[in-house]
Amino acid sequence: MLREHAAQDSLELAYALQDACYAAWNTDRVRTLNAAAALDTLAAQTADPDIAALAAWAAGIAALAEGRMEQAITALDAAAEQFRQRGHLHLAANTQVGKLMALAMLGRYAEALTCGEDARTVLIAHGDLVAAGRIELNLGHIAFRRDQYPEAEAYYRSAYARLSHVDDPALLARCESGLADVLARRSHLDAARTLYAQALARGEAAGLTVVQAEAECNLGNLALAQGRYGEALAYLERSRRRYAALGLPHESAYADLELAEAYLELNLAPEAAAIFARVIPVFAELGMHSEHAWTLAHAGQSALLLGDHATARAHFDAAEQLFTTEGNTVSAALVALFEAQLHYREQQFAAAALCAAAAEARFRAADNQGRALVAAWSHAEALHAAGDDQAAEGLLREAMELAEARRVPQVALRCATTLGRIAATRGDLAAAEHLLTQAVQMIEQLRTPLPAEEFRTAFLADKLSPFAELARLCLTSDRVAEAFTYVEQARSRALIELLGSPLEHRHAPYDAFEAEQLARLTTLRQELNWCYQRLSRAMESGPADLDTVQTFQVAAQEREQAILEVTRQIQQRGHGAIFAGPRLDLNALQAELGTTTVLVAFYSFDDELFAFVVTDQGISVVRALASEAEVAALVNRLRFQTDALRRVAGRNPNHYAQLLHRAQHYLGQLYDLLLRPLEQVIGARRLVVVPHRTLHYVPFHALYDGTQYVLEQREVVAVPSVAVLQHCLRRPVPNHERALFIGVPDALVPSVRDEILAVAPQWPDQITLLDQDATLSALRRHAPEAAILHLACHGQFRPDSPLFSALRLADGWLTVRDAYELALHCKLVVLSACETGVSAVAPGDELIGLARGFFAAGAPAMVVSLWTVDDATTAALMTSFYDGLRLGLAPAAALRQAQRALLEHHAHPFFWAPFVLMGRW
């Protein structure tokens, strides 16, 4: 078509193509590239130098749309020179609008300013105020990137005034967003939010996807700066989706960067580090030095949070060099702030204070009030750690006052926490309690809108101190019940919220992107199961082929990470308010315990383990039981002993007695530290234990007092928290007795078949699924109808990725998140497999493992294992356990009876003690 019409109005057509290219460069990348290609073809068909210049201009815009900044500058310079040779000075100046953007992205600021000012002079002289406004808009971007806020504001306001009468929503939205950026940095947050919202409205009204994505990203960053984390995640995720759909590599990388910064704020350091590793090469390849430096600085921060100080320091050095090369001393101050955090973690508090103070001074000089606040708090924390509480207190009070005035609660709560500790140290307990209570209230306000358990768990990880300090203050004044309340308020919070919101993980797709991602999730799970199955076969069929094993391990890990990322993307756009969970009602708890049960909840201050003891008569506390480090060492030695027995098969008379003696030795030491000081308070009651940190790995029922084990005296139950216990106690009991027995024997657990065939016939109303019938789909179909669910199969705890701990069924693996979807209405779940009760213990005693999955699915009580079980004795234990249940015993009593019976024939706890009851007794 171009060849046929090359002689007819070709110059007019060239201008139309160039206009189309320019109009679509930031809204429709494909249209821009096609228009540039068509114009290049037209130029080749004619000998018109004006068309050649327009083609070079369009080529520059196309390169800009693809993030190829150097190529964009080369093409735009060629276009400008050709226009000048033709005497078209006005058109030559117009080409500099795009060149300014490319120069800015490459950090060539001085060149960009000269170019922009020269072009603006020409454009104003020719009366082209719109193009002059475009130039000023880009000059504003340059000044903002250099943290020169007054200059940026002046450029943006001038551009806005020139362009306000132009019917170009994209241009006006960019003026509004640029001005809002400046106002946000200078803490005029309400005005910034209004302008961002105007920009978003313009983009929505005109159907401009890129404008909407930019505005949503900006609103997300503003929400993040004010601690509105749920809103921030939702906006940033929407922005990321729009950029991904447009296929803009530099913009997509920028959106990922913003999301990773939000992850850092929420303590999701590994997830942030993965994103930074992905986008650093993108910015480096595109030559976007400022973005490259920014990403390196935050990648260093994520490495710091992960404890990799060498990598953190290397990233900080590289970022500082890039910022210094650009002459951006304010952004370099961000690196100084992160270096202060590195010095603090290395206990170099004087160096930390100096770095933070220097960063604060630079931020204040640039009128970057938000970062100045963070630097002031960091400075004060370093002074406090160095022992200079007087200087620290003054800085903290000033920073807290400013943070509250500017509605930056995440900084205010940090200041309140440290001020509370300082007040407690000097003996002003009333002031300390007031400040720490403020901190707790702010934590709750910040945490509540977070959209999913992963975010809530991570967010609380570094914010447990106010709860602990309030508990300490209450104990100082003998307010034991209040102390217990604060301890429980911070324990297993995300789990109890999950229990109250069982449909949180199930939802219809919000948009086409989500529908596509949910379909991808299904595919990834199928592929992961295939990898697991191939991996299992490779490891079970004789000597393992290490290359084959490694291939499938890598393939499985890639899919696991993809599943986690897709799930996070779906969750973070938000699904409404969360269930807050029940508040601790001590009177109700005491009534629920009755006269037969005692609850012992462990906790620690500064490595000192202590216990709250709750009975129907009251609550008390027993202090100074042991050090956490001492107990952790004993737990590790005990686990070594159980592993040793498993390795040598324990039945060898030459080893058995010695191994039994060693196990009893460590179980006795643990008893002496954890339970002997409580004997008088516990009495003869059933024992419900709420462990703390390492204590989740302690088999309390197997602790040894020198003559007998605890389970020989009483029933023992474990629960993650009092709130979880009360939730389990209040779950409805089904009015039927149907049992679902599922068994999948393999080379590792060959006695599973015998176990199922022994226990299933005892149950009149039962469904039995063995071998190839024991599929994931069959489990999902029958589980909601079961009062008792029994799964006997191979189990695996994954310390590297605990959400992928799993049970092996006939056609795949049931992971923790898969268990969430079972929708149980039962009274008991029995997981007769290895390590089903082992969990990763996240801060706040959040258990991440199979037990979490079945609690979330609705199980009020579970029998789970703490270590790799012996196959034959497990079958005998389960047969005895179901004998007890059939005779009407409650699960705790039935399990105790079965373990005592097994103890008579197999003295070592390895055989009879791996299983523990969790939840309702």
226-277 pLDDT tens trace? 999 999 999 999 998 888 888 777 788 888 999 999 999 999 999 999 999 9
pTM: 0.87
Residue entry with tokens 């709860």: 467
Nearest alpha-carbon partner for 690 in 668, 731, 723, 712: 723
> CA dist 173 to 215, 222, 356, Å?
8, 17, 36
Predicted pLDDT at 543: 67
Q: What tens digit of pLDDT does each residue of 717-776 get?
A: 999 999 999 999 999 999 888 999 999 988 778 889 999 999 998 888 999 999 999 999
**Which range, 182-186, 571-575, 687-691, 806-810, has the best average confidence (pLDDT)?**
687-691
Residue 636 has pLDDT above 90, yes or no: yes
Q: Report the number of secondary-structure helices (H) and strands (E) in the chain.
A: 41, 16
Q: Are 58 and 36 in contact, with CB atoms under 8 Å apart? A: yes
Predicted pLDDT at 783: 95
Beta carbons within 8 Å of 290's beta carbon, 6+ residues apart: 105, 107, 145, 322, 323, 326, 328, 331
> CA dist 504 to 259, 548, 570, 833, 919, Å?
22, 38, 12, 28, 22
Banded model confidence at residue 26, pLDDT cuts 50, 70, 90: low
Q: Which of 491-500, 586-595, 768-777, 802-811 has the lowest mean pLDDT?
A: 491-500
Residue entry with tokens 């008088």: 680
Separation of alpha carbons 52 and 55, rounded Å: 5
Banded model confidence at residue 544, pLDDT cuts 50, 70, 90: low
Q: Which two tokens stand for residue 219?
A: 């609103």
Which amino acid is present at 306? L
Q: Are 499 and 727 in contact, with CB atoms under 8 Å apart? A: yes
Q: What tens digit of pLDDT does each residue of 389-439 get?
A: 999 999 999 999 999 998 899 999 999 999 999 999 999 999 999 999 999
Q: What tens digit of pLDDT does each residue of 857-868 get?
A: 999 999 999 998
Separation of alpha carbons 369 and 184, rounded Å: 9
Q: Are 864 and 699 in contact, with CB atoms under 8 Å apart? A: no
Q: Which two tokens stand for residue 568?
A: 């996070």
Residue 650 has pLDDT above 50, yes or no: no
Q: What tens digit of pLDDT does each residue of 887-906 get?
A: 999 999 999 999 999 999 99
Q: Which residues in 501-650 belong to E strands, given as ranges?
A: 597-605, 608-615, 618-627
Q: What tens digit of pLDDT does each residue of 666-723 get?
A: 999 999 999 999 999 998 999 999 999 999 999 999 999 999 999 999 999 999 999 9
Phi and psi (nearest 5°) for 828? Answer: -160, 140
Which helix (H) or strand (E) is 116 found in, with range? helix 109-125
C-alpha torsion angle, residues 331, 333, 337, 339 (rounded to 10): 100
Separation of alpha carbons 217 and 235, rounded Å: 6
Residue 505 has pLDDT above 50, yes or no: no
Nearest alpha-carbon partner for 679 in 641, 723, 714, 648: 714
Beta carbons within 8 Å of 902's beta carbon, 6+ residues apart: 873, 876, 877, 880, 911, 912
Beta carbons within 8 Å of 247's beta carbon, 6+ residues apart: 29, 30
DSSP string for 270-315: HHHHHHHHHHHHHHHHHT-HHHHHHHHHHHHHHHHHTT-HHHHHHH
Residue 43 has pLDDT above 50, yes or no: yes
Predicted pLDDT at 656: 81
Q: Which two tokens stand for residue 917?
A: 């009851």
Banded model confidence at residue 653, pLDDT cuts 50, 70, 90: low
Give the DSSP letter of residue 704. B
C-alpha torsion angle, residues 444, 405, 294, 73 (rounded to 10): 130
Separation of alpha carbons 627 and 694, rounded Å: 11
Predicted pLDDT at 596: 96
Q: What tens digit of pLDDT does each residue of 784-822 get?
A: 999 999 999 989 999 999 999 999 999 889 999 999 989
Report, as an integer, the average pLDDT of 77-90.
93
Which helix (H) or strand (E) is 399 found in, with range? helix 389-405
Q: What tens digit of pLDDT does each residue of 123-159 get?
A: 999 999 899 999 999 999 999 988 899 999 999 999 9
Nearest alpha-carbon partner for 21 in 81, 52, 65: 65
Which helix (H) or strand (E) is 874 found in, with range? helix 871-886
| Alpha helices (runs of H) in 648-682, residue ranges in sequence order | 653-674, 679-682
Residue 502 has pLDDT above 60, yes or no: no
Q: Are 469 and 421 in contact, with CB atoms under 8 Å apart? A: yes
Beta carbons within 8 Å of 121's beta carbon, 6+ residues apart: none
Banded model confidence at residue 541, pLDDT cuts 50, 70, 90: low
Which has more confidence, 885 or 452? 885
Q: Is 797 left (phi over 0), alpha (psi -120 to 50) or beta?
A: beta
Sign of the alpha-carbon dihedral angle for 245, 249, 252, 256? positive
Nearest alpha-carbon partner for 455 in 722, 301, 228, 695: 228
Report, as an integer, the average pLDDT of 526-550.
81
Q: Give Dmax (Cα) for the chain.
A: 107
